């Protein structure tokens, strides 16, 4: 049986306390909530933190609420709450689509949106979703907080903009009126990481696509936007022919991995197929 290297453990009782511990312990400290991303890496010795700070008691970071023209999601919000949220389903149906195909009920009951995003795995589902809905994230440290665009949050494989002594506390999403969304995911075995997945958010007016945002999962070393597709869709009718033509450029600028689940060319083909499906569904087609 694979076991993690030895580590020290402490349980935070406040956000300020967690940040203070992160500052005191330095770069060898990691935050843990659900643990479904971090613990497997620790068992494989791919991550070897010397200190774990458990934030499960920080219930002030578990919420989904409307504020002004945004929806705010606390970083400790569990996947199951994202799945059940009528507020998210109303404004961002792509979230519910994604959550229905993330892992299994056991994982969804414990895993958190903050943990998923901070894992910074290019095969993780919610990063592409957050990118498609133009999310920003709030990062807090001892000197205050800063807001970072989703496109700038993942700076490399398993590396985010969260610095030493900082904590991701909130995800903010602008409210969208008149937009549709959909998430298409391709797997060989249920509940596994996607071989490729696509998140689409689309606004249509009179049968014409006025704006679209498309996020790609597992098509590079970090989550990506299919910007060529977005540009090609603007002003086009929401028809299969027009969307198919735009989706043909889904793999442009990507660098997908080759592994036992499929080589890079296979993933590029999947990206075009899934993008077409996701955009058509988001546009109501």
CA 250/CA 216 separation, integer angstroms: 9
What's residue 250's pLDDT? 98
| pLDDT in the model for residue 37 | 83
Do residues 197 and 217 lie in contact, with contact meaning Cβ atoms separated by under 8 Å? yes
What per-residue confidence (pLDDT) applies to 229? Answer: 98
Q: Does domain 179-282 have CATH number 3.30.390.50?
A: yes
Q: What is the pLDDT of residue 1?
A: 57
DSSP track, 213-224: EEEEESSSSS-E
CA distance 231 to 265: 23
Do 8-54 and 59-174 share a fold? no
What residue ranges do the domains of the chain occupy? 8-54, 59-174, 179-282
Amino acid 39: pLDDT: 87
Is the sign of the CA dihedral 65, 69, 75, 78 positive or negative?
positive
Domain 8-54 CATH assignment equals 3.40.50.720: no
The model's pLDDT over 38-64, given as tens digits with 9 standing for 90+, comes to: 888 889 888 899 999 999 999 999 999
pTM: 0.93
Taking 70 as the pLDDT cut, the residues of the chain under it are 1, 285
Q: What dotted CATH number matches 59-174?
A: 3.30.465.10
Distance of CA 177 to the CA centre of its chain: 21
């Amino acid at each position: 049986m694979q076991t993690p290297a030895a580590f020290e453990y402490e349980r935070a009782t406040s956000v300020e306390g967690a940040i203070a511990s992160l500052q005191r312990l330095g770069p060898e400290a990691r935050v843990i909530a659900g643990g479904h991303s971090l613990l497997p890496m620790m068992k494989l010795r791919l991550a070897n933190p010397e200190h774990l700070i458990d934030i499960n008691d920080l219930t002030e970071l578990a919420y989904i609420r409307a504020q002004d023209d945004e929806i705010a999601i606390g970083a400790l919000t569990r996947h199951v709450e994202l799945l059940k949220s009528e507020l998210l389903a109303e404004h961002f149906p792509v979230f519910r689509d994604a959550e229905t195909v993330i892992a299994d009920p056991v994982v969804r009951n414990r895993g958190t949106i903050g943990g998923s995003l901070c894992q910074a795995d290019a095969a993780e589902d919610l990063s592409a979703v957050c990118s498609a809905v133009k999310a920003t994230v709030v990062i807090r440290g001892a000197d205050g907080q800063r807001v970072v665009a989703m496109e700038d949050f993942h700076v490399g494989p398993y590396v985010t903009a969260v610095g030493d002594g900082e904590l991701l506390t909130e995800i903010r999403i602008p409210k969208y009126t008149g937009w549709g969304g959909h998430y298409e995911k391709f797997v060989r075995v249920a509940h596994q990481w996607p071989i490729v997945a696509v998140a689409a958010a689309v606004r249509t007016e009179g049968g014409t696509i006025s704006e679209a945002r498309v996020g790609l999962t597992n098509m590079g070393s970090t989550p990506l936007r299919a910007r060529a597709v977005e540009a090609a869709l603007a002003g086009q009718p929401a028809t299969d022919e027009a969307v198919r033509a735009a989706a043909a450029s889904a793999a442009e600028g990507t660098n997908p991995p080759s592994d036992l689940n499929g080589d890079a060319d296979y993933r590029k083909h999947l990206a075009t197929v899934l993008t077409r499906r996701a955009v058509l569904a988001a546009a109501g087609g």
